[in-house]
Each structure stands twice: as structure tokens, then as C-alpha cells.
Amino acid sequence: METIVVVGSSNTDMVIKAPRLPRPGETVTKGVFFRARGGKGANQAVAAARAGGRVTLVASVGLDALGNESIEAFAEEGIDTTHVMRTGAAASGVALILVDADAQNSIAVAEGANALLSASAVRACEPAIASAAVLVVQLEIPLDAVAEAVAIARAHGVRVVLNPAPACAVPDDLLARVSVLTPNDWETEFLTGIAPAGEPAMDRAATALLARGVEAVVMTLGSAGVYLAEGDRRERIAAWPVTAEDTTGAGDVFSGALAVALAEGKPLFDAARFANAAAGISVTRRGAQPSAPRRQEIIDVLEGRGAA
């Protein structure tokens, strides 16, 4: 089994499901609270492990109870935690998440230990990255750490999946080393200035990203489905017809499952269908990591034996 290395963040999510998202200065009552493990890197690692991948996580957590819980949970998922750094210089990362009755969310993050994942720490993990089939990275850790991981991967011929979230400026020399970019609608607009509303706009945005050096683009567009662009080929995959409970982490589930399918040698367009099914299942459940489906669930949905 090929290995997937995920370099990224690990948080604990504090979630309130409320009737609606509050406006500035407003208090909304009648919420329901729950806690879940999160962080985009950890989410993608768990999603990949549950989808059948052999996963190594490179991350940073605090020397605190939340960090201990995260390490234990990763081990339970079968994730290799050899390269999860512990630090006493900052608390483990925390995300405060509000989810409304329509499953839309608003998120604030305290990076904590995630901000201390340095390029030198990533460089120390070069043997693990070099031996992987796919590297998965996001932007909830310092950009120089992301760039170091990507540089190592490409130097060793490892395919790179970059989920450009949260949205921030990404240098063209970094994008040019990306095998597959997985932005959502807002991240696509941030990177290109083009809102991907309708297929003509999706095509223009994808073409703009390909022109910056990305090998392939897979836009995750919620109820509008998935739009893929690679070379001259374009394809749109419809979203699974589900009633969404919570969209938190759906993009992370998509990226993690996509990495598994790519590591198994599936063509990009087939890998995206696998990932789309995984994400469709995830939005019917609450929480980021808890919502990630198991491999057999994904296969059952794809083969018509289960409901997303």
C-alpha cells in the first residue's frame, strides 16, 4: 500500500449549532454545543486513513490535554504520528465554529502550536515525504513550511495535492509545483478574481489557475458539484443529492479521499468521483473528523448500495 503524507494543522473544534449565524454584536440563543477533533491537516489525514490510505501526519500540537487527545485519536485511526511535533511554547490549536440550520458555517481559528510548524521541522521529515506516493498540504500552517514540503516532494517525484485554504496569496513558483489544486468557490475567486458561478466562469477560473502552472484543478463547489480541469479536458461532476447536516470539513474529506484514490493509481477524474462520494456522505453528519466516511461506505454509495 502506498503512503500518503499530510503536512498541516491539527485543532480541536468547539462547535455550536444555532438557528442562524449571528450578525456582528448579536447573540443567538438555543444553540447545541459539541466538541470534535479538527484542523485541516488532521481532517485530511483522518479522511485519507478512513478511505483506505496508509497515512503519515506531519503536524504540531501543544503539551496539553488537547494535544494528548489528538495524538491518541490519530493512533486509533491508524495514522503514523512519528512526525507530530509536541511543543510547550504554545497551546494546541482551537477552532470556534458556528453552524446554522442550513448547515452553513462560520469559523474562527487560534493557530497555537500550528504556527510553530517550521520549514526546518518539515525538512527533518524528508525521508517520509520522499517515500510517499502523494503529499497533501493546506494553508493553516506557515507558508514556508508548506513550500518546504512541496519542494521536497517534487524533488523526489511525489505528487502534490494542495488545498488552498484558508484563502491567502500563494506564489506562482509554489503553484507551479502543485499536481492537483482543490479550491472551493471562495478560494477560487480569491486566487483568480473570478467567481465560479456557471460553467463558463468555472472554465475561465480553471484556465487562469492552469496558466499559473498548476497541473490540474478540482474545484469543490458545494451544491454546484465539482469542476475538473486538466490540460484541455473539462468535466463537471454533480453533487450527491443529500440533505446537509453540517458542511464543516467536507472539503477536507474530499482532499483526503482524492489523495487515496490518486495513490492507488486511479486517473484524476475517477479519483474525483471517489472523493465526491466521500464528501457527499460527510455533509450528512456533524463535525469535521467524525463525519469522514469509511472506505466501504464510499464504495457502497458509488455502486448504488448505500445512500450518501
Reduced 3-state DSSP string for the chain:
CCEEEEECCCEEEEEEECCCCCCCCCCCCCCEEEEEEECHHHHHHHHHHHCCCEEEEEEEEECCHHHHHHHHHHHHCCCECCCEEEECCCCCEEEEEEECCCCCEEEEEECHHHHHCCHHHHHCCHHHHHCCCEEEECCCCCHHHHHHHHHHHHHCCCEEEECCCCCCCCCHHHHCCCCEECCEHHHHHHHHCCCCCCHHHHHHHHHHHHHCCCCEEEEECHHHCEEEEECCEEEEECCCCCCCCCCCCHHHHHHHHHHHHHHCCCCHHHHHHHHHHHHHHHCCCCCCHHHCCCHHHHHHHHCCCCCC
- Burial tier of 49 (Cβ tally within 10 Å: 0-12, 13-18, 19+): buried
Cα separation, 118 vs 287, in Å, equals: 28
Query: Annotated catalytic, 246?
Result: no
Furthest C-alpha separation in the chain: 52
Are 235 and 273 in contact by the 8 Å Cβ rule? The answer is: no
Q: Where are the domains of the chain?
A: 3-10+39-92+114-302
Report pLDDT for 96: 92
Cβ–Cβ contacts within 10 Å for residue 119, how many?
A: 16
Asked whether the CA dihedral 171, 187, 131, 10 is positive or negative, the reply is positive
pLDDT, residue 20, reads 95
Per-residue pLDDT of the chain (308 residues; tens, 9 = 90+): 689 999 999 999 899 999 999 999 999 999 999 888 889 999 999 999 999 999 999 999 999 999 999 999 999 999 999 999 999 999 999 989 899 998 888 888 899 999 999 999 999 999 999 999 999 999 999 999 999 999 999 999 999 999 999 999 999 999 999 999 999 999 999 999 999 999 999 999 999 999 999 999 999 998 889 999 999 999 999 988 887 787 878 999 999 999 999 999 999 999 999 999 999 999 988 877 888 999 999 999 998 866 55
Sign, Cα dihedral of 206, 207, 208, 211? positive
Contact 116, 84 (CB under 8 A): no
**In CATH, what class is 3-10+39-92+114-302?**
alpha beta
Q: What pLDDT is stored for residue 306 in this prediction?
A: 60
- Contact indicator for 175, 157 with CB cutoff of 8 Å: no
pLDDT for 307: 58
Query: Exactly one of 64, 80, 185, 252 is catalytic; which is it?
Result: 252
